[in-house]
Structure 1
Amino acid sequence: MPDFTKLVDDLKRTRDEIKLKIHLGSKDVQDEWAELEKHWTSFESRAELDKSARDVSDAVKILGSELKDAFNRIRRAL
């Protein structure tokens, strides 16, 4: 469970950093960000539910990994 909590904290921190810079990005980056925000909402909801569970579902792990990769892509683009 600590690994999952760290993942959620890392994603929140990365998301906040990117959110501060996104207004300077290109239209493509802004469009990708809008799509990621939809995924973030879904992830955050699932993460809150899974905090109390012992086993984190594979779907949430995959979504978290995809968000991490996408955040890194946007960070490199900025």
Structure 2
Amino acid sequence: MSNDTLDKLREELDDLGERLKRERDELQVKLNLAKLEAREEWDEAEHKWEHFRAKAARVGREAGEASKEVGAAARLLAEEVKEAYRRIRRLL
């Protein structure tokens, strides 16, 4: 292989290496941000999960209209937790 050919190959590989390094660095930053965002989503979902459990437990203790209202609130919280879990899955 001639020196010119080797020089071109080295230059091409150097350019490729720089592009890959830049892309790697960008992805690493995005991954770290996604982890942070996923953690924040998780913390919020955990808070809602605890509220859901408390409301669900109240339904068993209360009767009549109050129980229906608490049940409706619990169902709403369950949907919010479910959606938060979907968002977390997408981030991971």
* Matched residue count: 54
User: Identity, % of aligned pairs?
Assistant: 35
TM-score, normalized by length of structure 1?
Answer: 0.55
Larger RCO (CA within 8 A; separation ≥ 6): 1
TM-score, normalized by length of structure 2?
Answer: 0.48
Structure having the larger proportion of residues in helix: 2
Work out which of the residue numbers 53, 60, 80 in structure 2 matches 1:66: 80
| RMSD between aligned residues | 2.1
Q: Which runs of 5+ in 1 are unaligned?
A: 1-24
Residue identity opposite 2:85 in structure 1 = F
Q: Larger C-alpha radius of gyration, 1 or 2?
A: 2
Cα drift, residue 30 of structure 1: 0.4
Q: Which runs of 5+ in 2 are unaligned?
A: 1-33
